[in-house]
Amino acid sequence: MASVNPYLTFDGQCDEAFELYKSVFGGDFRGKFRFKDMDSGMPVAENDVNRIMHVSLPIGNGSVLMGSDSHTSMGPLTAGNNYSVSIQADSEAEADRLFNGLSAGGRVMMPMGKVFWGAYFGMFTDKFGIQWLVNHDYNQQ
């Protein structure tokens, strides 16, 4: 069964915010990656290279707080578009089912597909304006 976690987006303060969250919740980051570490073949603006592309911090009973900084191509960050609901699916089939069902009538920003971090991933805004990320890691632990 899929798990659901909050995904927060910042305008350059993600590193600072997650260091604070780590000091409060404890634990260690599962990973912290900057845009300059990205191997997607997509160009990254010079002022975005040191921003956080993705960070995850386990908190509590199986929950994971995740986040990233916005980048130039995302446009301005405003209240209401600075968070998403992230779903971790157990299989590609479950990811497709969730993605197709929740995105119906909405706007797909990235269709489901294999991505450079070893996952099957897609993102969309549903017809109610809620942003969603659907992910299936191929090497689940």
Q: What are phi and psi of 50, to 5 degrees?
A: -95, 0
Do 120 and 136 have their domain in common?
Answer: yes
User: Per residue of the chain (141 residues), what is the pLDDT tens digit?
Assistant: 678 889 999 889 999 999 989 998 899 999 899 988 877 667 778 888 899 999 999 987 788 999 999 877 777 777 777 888 999 999 999 999 999 999 999 999 999 999 988 899 999 998 878 889 999 999 865
The pLDDT assigned to 36 comes to 87
Do 73 and 126 share a domain, yes or no?
no
- pLDDT of the residue at 61: 79
Question: pTM for this one?
Answer: 0.74
DSSP per position, 44-72 = --GGGTTSEEEEEEEETTTEEEEEEE--G
Whether residue 65 sits in one domain with residue 3: yes
Evaluated on CA atoms 87, 93, 97, 99, the torsion sign reads positive
Find the domain containing 21 and state its range. Answer: 1-83
Q: What is the pLDDT of residue 128?
A: 75
Is the domain of 74 the same as that of 41?
A: yes
The domain that holds 117 is classified in CATH as: 3.30.720.110
Strand ranges of the sheet holding 63-69, from the earlier edge strand across to the other edge: 31-34, 52-59, 63-69, 3-10, 83-88, 131-137, 119-125, 107-115
Do both 63 and 105 map to the same domain? no
| pLDDT on residue 44 | 78
pLDDT on residue 140: 63
Together in a domain, 57 and 116: no
Query: Do 31 and 70 lie in a common domain?
Result: yes
Q: pLDDT at position 103, please?
A: 94
Residue 41: predicted pLDDT: 66
Q: What is the total count of domains within the chain?
A: 2
CATH number of 60's domain: 3.30.720.100
